[in-house]
Structure 1
């Protein structure tokens, strides 16, 4: 098996004893493809992202980015990673260019090279005409695109996106999804996309990891997950994998059915 851009094995984390937020999670994200981390709210997606980016230390398990263990070689692992968190982190009172230059400086990219990369990313994201505008003047879709441009400035091999379409309207969501898939095809990067929205999955190309209550319930291509569950679609499979268990000995209602 070839080395994946991201390899997570046996990841466990608990915010308090006896209540695991993640319980033995394992997954892989390959280069040139989108891997969708699909789960309902509260499944543990944001906890996994915090562990995968070094914001939290796991109780057990490993995270490797292109073979670099995040705990043992954090600098090498994080250098290969770009991240867009669910909550926006841009400085609203700086312009698009100022935000990007600041990030490039943090990564030690020389000013001339930084400006060259900024020009390229803004052109690719159709944001060149917004480069001098302050972030607070941009709509949600444009802000997300700036965050993606920022995450790509240091040429990562892995892009982590945590619920990136939150707050976007339908056209902006579709545009962002299409752009990320184009990045995979053009640059060969690996993407781990966390979402609870079924329609953000491309069933023809994406791999899926279904996370529920801190454990992986199924993973693989959409076809493989559907075959595993017997679902007619990924939406059907998701419902089956995350369904609440029936309440035993439920009292019947007036029609004789369980309440």
Structure 2
């Protein structure tokens, strides 16, 4: 895999509607370069999960609207693409009386022992844990170790660090940054938690109601020069301003949008 160039991620006029006809994404066009680390920013319901699921192949995209590494993944497969979302911890299998070494072995831990041991250390995973007797945060650490154990070329993360404590999250993000600096890989990460991210992203994508409002290199945005009185980072201030403008543009939520609300619940924050 080391000899394969890192893939770019490109979408061209990508549109998507839910089964009830409500819009999910509208005319989304992006060009995320190889080895980029992109933060996907937007309020709940802005389309972040929908976009990640389309990129991962979990939802079917229209022909020739998504290109990963220069090819249409729906024509040529999605080899090397890893998607990690919140639904894993709800899987009944990972809540049974099973130990961590067995789970890691099931996803190839014995073939990547150095990578396995590094992830166990970074995520502070206890190999004596039994999955039916751990917290959601501990279960999340095991999910990350399992999901990242096999080397990937595209990593799509959907609010995956929400259950991690501050130290584990910091160590995990540093690991991901090192991955893009030492391997041929590309990351898109949707999150609302901006702690320790001020120097992490190479690119930002701002989604609002299924549309891209801004996107580009992080250093191309006009970021507030001073921290706010409440201690927000410059990245935090930029995103806070985006979300405040989004709320003004959207206005009050419409009453009777049960179909859209259903999709939001089913998609865990699409």
In the superposition, the TM-score normalised over structure 2's length comes to 0.72
Change (3 A) 1:25 1:118: farther
Counterparts of residues 1-259 of structure 1 (less than 5 Å)? 4-16=7-19, 19-59=22-62, 62-74=65-77, 77=78, 79-89=79-89, 91-93=94-96, 94-104=98-108, 114-126=109-121, 130-199=126-195, 201-203=197-199, 205-226=201-222, 233-239=237-243, 241-245=245-249
CA distance, structure 1, for counterparts of residue 125 and residue 63 of structure 2: 47
Moved more, 30-39 or 165-174: 165-174
Change (3 A) 1:213 1:129: closer
CA distance, structure 2, for counterparts of residue 117 and residue 246 of structure 1: 48
CA distance, structure 1, for counterparts of residue 44 and residue 114 of structure 2: 37
Change (3 A) 1:191 1:200: farther
Change (3 A) 1:73 1:98: same
Moved more, 12-21 or 134-143: 134-143
Moved more, 7-16 or 39-48: 7-16
CA distance, structure 2, for counterparts of residue 80 and residue 206 of structure 1: 21
Residue deviations 1:15-37 (CA, integer Å, cap 9, x gap): 14653110111223333331111
CA distance, structure 1, for counterparts of residue 250 and residue 58 of structure 2: 37
Structure 1: gaps of 5 or more residues: 105-113, 248-259
CA distance, structure 2, for counterparts of residue 200 and residue 235 of structure 1: 14
* The structure with more strand, counted as a fraction of residues: 1
CA distance, structure 1, for counterparts of residue 242 and residue 150 of structure 2: 35
Structure 2: gaps of 5 or more residues: 224-233, 252-270
CA distance, structure 2, for counterparts of residue 58 and residue 129 of structure 1: 36
Larger radius of gyration between Structure 1 and Structure 2: 1
CA distance, structure 2, for counterparts of residue 43 and residue 207 of structure 1: 18
Residue deviations 1:66-111 (CA, integer Å, cap 9, x gap): 223121112xx2x21122112225623222222233234xxxxxxx
CA distance, structure 1, for counterparts of residue 33 and residue 104 of structure 2: 27
Change (3 A) 1:5 1:131: farther
Report the alpha carbon displacement of residue 13 of structure 1 after superposing the two structures with TM: 0.7
